[in-house]
């Protein structure tokens, strides 16, 4: 895990990612792999007996969901019973760059994957989630700006109602990265495993109500991008 670092805004984080990929030549899929592996290791630290533990991963479209697919693969390889729930159709993701590549790997491994397409599906999965030990929230990342809409609004409500430990990937889904307010609704995480640096919103308004414990991990971004002049 990274040392204590200054909290950054959405734009600062995005610029660091851009420079890491475009100026330093680090492929985005490597950053995604490092992010997902770090979260998986944190989850494994919470599990006493991997082969008798069940983890549900709720994954959206985009890089946050891509991190979730990497997490699922690493947990699966450690004998954890994993299920991946998608907030969109499989084929909408397969064409989505690095995330699509990592989802295809899960399909090749025959990991359990279920599509959630409407409010009815979101309500139904609420009951199903109660059968798991841990929920991984990989729905939205730092780029979310507008209010969370249906059917995902219902899904987040159901996640919060389970009372289970929830690990959010980088940021609780629905939390404004800079303002620390819920965009209509947000996941209430037990623990947030954030990448590169904590986000400004974690410490503003009611951010702490949603993040739970915050851990920051490195994903191999060059340190001079994070701490200039260090």
Decide if pLDDT at 230 tops 50.
Answer: no
Map out the domains of the chain as residue ranges: 10-204+215-226
- pTM of the full predicted structure? 0.95
pLDDT digits (tens, 9 = 90+) for 90-138: 999 998 899 999 999 999 999 999 999 999 999 999 999 999 999 999 9
Q: Are 91 and 65 in contact (CB under 8 A)?
A: no
Q: Are 87 and 60 in contact (CB under 8 A)?
A: yes
Percent of the chain past pLDDT 70, that is, above it, reads 97
CATH topology of domain 10-204+215-226: Rossmann fold (3.40.50)
Residue 128's φ and ψ, nearest 5 degrees, are -60, -35
pLDDT digits (tens, 9 = 90+) for 42-97: 999 999 898 999 999 999 999 999 999 999 999 999 999 999 999 999 999 998 89
CA distance 116 to 86: 6
Number of Cβ atoms within 10 Å of the Cβ of 157? 15
Q: Are 158 and 122 in contact (CB under 8 A)?
A: yes
Q: Are 125 and 155 in contact (CB under 8 A)?
A: yes
Residue with tokens 């040392």: 3
């Amino acid at each position: 895990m990274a040392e204590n670092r200054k909290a950054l805004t959405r734009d600062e984080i995005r610029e660091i990612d851009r420079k890491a990929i475009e100026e330093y030549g680090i492929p985005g899929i490597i950053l995604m792999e490092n992010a997902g592996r770090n979260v998986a290791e944190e989850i494994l630290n919470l599990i006493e007996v991997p082969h008798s533990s069940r983890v549900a991963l709720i994954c959206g479209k985009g890089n946050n969901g891509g991190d979730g697919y990497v997490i699922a693969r690493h947990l699966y390889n450690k004998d954890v019973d994993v299920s991946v729930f998608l907030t969109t159709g499989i084929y909408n993701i397969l064409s989505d760059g690095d995330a699509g590549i990592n989802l295809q790997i899960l399909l090749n491994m025959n990991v359990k994957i279920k599509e959630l397409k409407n409010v009815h599906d979101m309500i139904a999965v609420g009951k199903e989630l109660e059968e798991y030990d841990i929920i991984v929230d990989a729905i939205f990342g730092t780029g979310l700006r507008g209010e969370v809409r249906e059917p995902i609004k219902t899904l987040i409500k159901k996640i919060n109602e389970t009372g289970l430990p929830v690990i959010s990937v980088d940021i609780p889904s629905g939390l404004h990265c800079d303002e620390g307010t819920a965009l209509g609704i947000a996941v209430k995480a037990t623990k947030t495993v954030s990448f590169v640096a904590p986000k400004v919103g974690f410490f503003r308004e009611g951010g702490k109500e949603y993040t739970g414990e915050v851990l920051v991990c490195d994903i191999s971004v060059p340190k001079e991008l994070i701490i200039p002049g260090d």
